Each structure stands twice: as structure tokens, then as C-alpha cells.
């Protein structure tokens, strides 16, 4: 991932924090723009609905074509 990429992610509140082995399997239902990715600290800053969120890198993936089509449909009110 690099800055400016569209990413899908999960917020910390949506994660089952009791079992860290399942963190990569957490559903990532939100779409945002990657502002900064710090690989050493394991964090990502994401622009989401006008605010920048700081989340752990394990909760972030680069968004694919299907994610972008779904996002465009939701933002246009077509779904």
C-alpha cells in the first residue's frame, strides 16, 4: 500500500480484541484513502468521511475493484 491508495479497513471498536490471531480475518467494511502508512509502527492513517483515523495495519487492506464499485454505488444512492 502507498499513500493515496483506496483502502478498506475496520475500526478498533469492531474488532474482537480477545483473540489477536483472528485480527487479519476481521471484516473490513469501510472504504477510505490512505494518508500515511508507518510499517515500523504498524499503523495507518486513513481519511474517512472528512476525518483522519489512525488504525493498526492488520485492519487495513488495499481496496479492489469490487470494493470501489460497491462504494460508488453507495455514495450515489444506488444499491
Q: Are 62 and 5 in contact (CB under 8 A)?
A: yes
The pLDDT of residue 54: 95
Instruction: List the beta strands (DSSP E) in 1-79.
Output: 6-9, 30-38, 43-48, 51-56, 60-62
pLDDT digits (tens, 9 = 90+) for 31-69: 999 999 999 999 999 999 999 999 999 889 998 887 777
CA atoms within 13 A on the CB side of 55: 27
* Summary mean pLDDT of the chain: 83
The pLDDT of residue 39: 94
Amino acid at each position: 500500500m502507498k499513500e493515496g491508495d483506496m483502502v478498506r479497513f475496520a475500526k478498533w471498536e469492531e474488532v474482537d480484541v480477545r483473540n489477536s490471531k483472528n485480527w487479519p480475518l476481521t471484516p473490513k467494511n469501510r472504504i477510505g484513502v490512505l494518508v500515511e502508512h508507518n510499517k515500523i509502527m504498524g499503523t495507518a492513517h486513513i481519511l474517512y468521511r472528512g476525518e483522519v483515523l489512525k488504525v493498526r495495519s492488520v485492519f487495513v487492506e488495499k481496496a479492489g475493484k469490487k470494493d470501489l464499485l460497491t462504494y460508488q454505488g453507495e455514495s450515489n444512492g444506488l444499491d
